[in-house]
């Protein structure tokens, strides 16, 4: 099984790479702008289950780099987890256009364009599964918090994209779901809620996402699923 994870160098993404890499029949492709932690993981465990690729999902040129690597190794993707994310915590009237574009480029345009680029490389013989990682901040009807308008609205857009893609990719034997996660102890949470202590660790949420990625498409398609024991 071939699993591609973006935002794989730290937090939940890194924990997912570690979790999946325990299975010797799995190859985990870790995408990140900084692959130091992934390379250390490979060297420390002497594993061939992890393939780090230094790439920025916001850059089309890096998409080509990812595709070139996958084609060279003749790899077909079974699972794509769009985990990379960016946050800005600022009052609405102080968010610059540059900051807004940067957040949307990482959280919406990046996954959109990456999925487009990877379309020829999904394993369609066995149903492929795309899992988009959103947030309770982007989940309709959930609590919203000041300072997170750019982040939360971008995550809401990712939820909408999930519903659209699930229908459009259904004939191609690709399922698309979205997990709207709540409070998890990560660097991003600390940016959103400085000093807040989350009830879940990154490794705990990572294990849930990994299990969902493996089996969730047998039960869901086009669903936005809240995964939250609490919302700050």
What's the CA gap between 58 and 204, in Å, rounded?
A: 28
Q: How far is 65 from 117, CA to CA, in rounded Å?
A: 11
Pseudo-torsion of CA 99, 100, 104, 106, nearest 10°? Answer: 10
Predicted local distance difference test score (pLDDT) of residue 11? 94
CB 177 within 8 A of CB 130: yes
* pLDDT single digits (tens) 82-93: 999 999 999 999
Question: Of 3.40.50.720, 3.50.50.60, 3.30.429.10, 3.90.100.10, which CATH number belongs to 2-227?
Answer: 3.40.50.720
Q: Which residues contact 102 (CB under 8 A, 6 or more apart)?
A: 86, 88
Listed in sequence order, the residues at least 6 apart from 46 whose beta carbon sits closer than 8 Å to its beta carbon are: none
- Which pLDDT belongs to residue 187? 78
What pLDDT score was predicted for residue 232?
67
What per-residue confidence (pLDDT) applies to 178?
98
Listed residue (123, 111, 114, 157) closest to 137, CA to CA: 157
User: Which segments in the chain show pLDDT lower than 70?
Assistant: 232
pTM value is 0.95
Rg of the chain over CA atoms, in angstroms?
A: 17
Domain ranges of the chain: 2-227
CA distance 214 to 230: 25
Measured CA angle at 127 (ends 122, 133), to 5 deg: 75
Q: How far apart are CA 110 and CA 114, in angstroms?
A: 6
168-218 pLDDT tens trace:
999 999 999 999 988 787 877 777 788 888 888 999 999 999 999 999 999
């Amino acid at each position: 099984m071939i699993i591609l994870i973006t935002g794989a160098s730290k937090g939940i993404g890194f924990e997912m790479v570690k979790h999946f890499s325990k299975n010797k029949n799995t190859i985990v492709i870790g995408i990140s702008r900084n692959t130091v932690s992934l390379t250390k993981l490979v060297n420390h465990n002497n594993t061939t289950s992890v393939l780090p690729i230094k790439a920025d999902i916001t850059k089309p040129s890096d998409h080509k780099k990812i595709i070139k690597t996958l084609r060279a190794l003749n790899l077909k993707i079974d699972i794509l987890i769009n985990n990379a994310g960016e946050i800005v915590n600022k009052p609405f009237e102080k968010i610059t256009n540059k900051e807004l574009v940067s957040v949307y480029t990482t959280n919406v345009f990046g996954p959109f364009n990456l999925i487009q680029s990877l379309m020829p490389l999904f394993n369609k013989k066995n149903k492929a599964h795309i899992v988009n990682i959103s947030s309770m901040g982007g989940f309709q009807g959930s609590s919203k918090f000041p300072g997170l308008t750019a982040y939360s609205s971008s995550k809401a857009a990712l939820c909408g994209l999930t519903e659209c893609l699930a229908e459009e990719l259904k004939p191609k034997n690709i399922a698309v779901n979205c997990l709207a996660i709540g409070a998890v102890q990560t660097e991003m949470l600390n940016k959103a809620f400085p000093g807040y202590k989350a009830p879940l660790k990154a490794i705990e949420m990572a294990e849930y996402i990994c299990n969902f990625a493996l089996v969730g498409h047998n039960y869901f398609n086009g669903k936005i699923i809240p995964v939250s024991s609490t919302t700050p």
